[in-house]
Structure 1
Amino acid sequence: MRNFDLTPYRRSTVGFDRLFDLIENNARVAQSDNYPPFNIERLSEDRYRVTLAVAGFREDELDITAQQNLLQVSGRKAELANDERAKFVHVGIANRSFERRFELADFVRVDNAALADGLLVIELVREVPEAMKPKKIAINGGQLVEIKGDRNAA
């Protein structure tokens, strides 16, 4: 993956620091580790699904933490004892602990999570508060409405 120099954009924009930081951090993380593999699906305009392949993990070994703008999924596997490890001729199924982070947009929350057939499925929904949604403003047919009270009064 190529590195992008975002300096020219940082110089000419105001208030986009978080976006540029996300791009730079995700570029670094994408190069480092790809375990466990995952999919992100867009189910509708406001619904998403994250699916992680976590074969061999039980529910009690997985932890999902959602906080503002961050979804963190981690799996903790106990190390095999030497006598158990000696039984294997070949180990090809990953049996290691992991931590995977997903940056979430504002107002995205976890709706549901389920583990079945080695796949951890996390349903996400974006719920914009009513006060933040666009509103249609009616035009009063050319009539001016007098506003009572002085706005500059203390």
Structure 2
Amino acid sequence: MNTLSLSPLFRRSIGFDRLNDLFETAMKSDAPSYPPYNVEKHGDNDYRIVVAASGFDERELEVNVENRLLTISGAKEQKEEASQVNYLHQGIAQRSFKLSFRLDEQIEVQGARFENGLLKVDLLRIVPEAQRPRQIAINGRTSQSLEHQGEAQRETSAVSVA
């Protein structure tokens, strides 16, 4: 029995609602497993990508945005002394990597910081005023009059409690 996993849709896109692009991305088999990363949502419009970049120095990491494609890459500097080391067990990967995330038009990269071996990239969804939820007036009442009505109710309830 074949099952369809939708998890590639959610971990490779942030703030995306376009199904065609999501399905195209999910059908590609180039989803990297190194380095491990998290995509976190902190509130309605705040996102964060956390990449486990242990063993990398801040100078060896790059974060770029081009044509709504966020690319996080790391390249280890080759040291001469590393070639002289004989590993009995090498469990810490020291290879280069490149992660790419397609961003929605409303998602902007706010900044990146590297601390304790984790690269954290903060993202923010900026919703234009025209697309924000708003209250529609009924029977000619303006939203301003609705706000005043709510304030009057609060004042009345405050007076009745006192």
Which residue is 1:98 aligned to? 97
Q: How does 1:32-47 map to 2 (within 5 A)?
A: 32-47=31-46
**Structure 1 contact 66–109 (Cα < 8 Å) conserved:** no
- Aligned partner letter, 2:77: A
Which residue is 1:88 aligned to? 86
- CA change 1:19–1:100 in 2 (3 A) is same
- Aligned partner letter, 2:132: K
Structure 1 gaps, min length 5: 5-17, 143-154
Structure with the largest fraction of helix:
2
**Structure 1 contact 73–99 (Cα < 8 Å) conserved:** yes
**Structure 2 contact 48–121 (Cα < 8 Å) conserved:** yes
- SS of the counterpart of 1:44? coil
Q: How many residues align?
A: 126
Give the Cα separation in 2 of the matches to 1:38 and 1:95.
16
- CA change 1:80–1:22 in 2 (3 A) is farther
- Aligned partner letter, 1:98: F
Q: Deviation string for 1:52-94 (max 9, x for gaps)?
A: 000111111111112443211011113344x532313232211
RMSD: 2.5
- Aligned partner letter, 2:108: R
Q: How does 1:107-118 map to 2 (within 5 A)?
A: 107-118=106-117
Give the Cα separation in 2 of the matches to 1:109 and 1:141.
38
**Structure 2 contact 68–103 (Cα < 8 Å) conserved:** yes
**Structure 2 contact 32–99 (Cα < 8 Å) conserved:** no
- CA change 1:133–1:33 in 2 (3 A) is same
Structure 2 gaps, min length 5: 5-17, 142-162
Offset, 1:116:
0.8
TM-score, length of structure 1 as denominator length:
0.68
Which residue is 1:146 aligned to? none
2:44 pairs with 1:63: no
- SS of the counterpart of 2:73? strand
Give the Cα separation in 2 of the matches to 1:29 and 1:118.
28
**Structure 1 contact 3–27 (Cα < 8 Å) conserved:** no
Offset, 1:28:
2.5
**Structure 1 contact 71–104 (Cα < 8 Å) conserved:** yes
2:120 pairs with 1:125: no
Q: Deviation string for 1:17-68 (max 9, x for gaps)?
A: x6323323234346x5201100111111111111000011111111111244
- CA change 1:141–1:91 in 2 (3 A) is closer
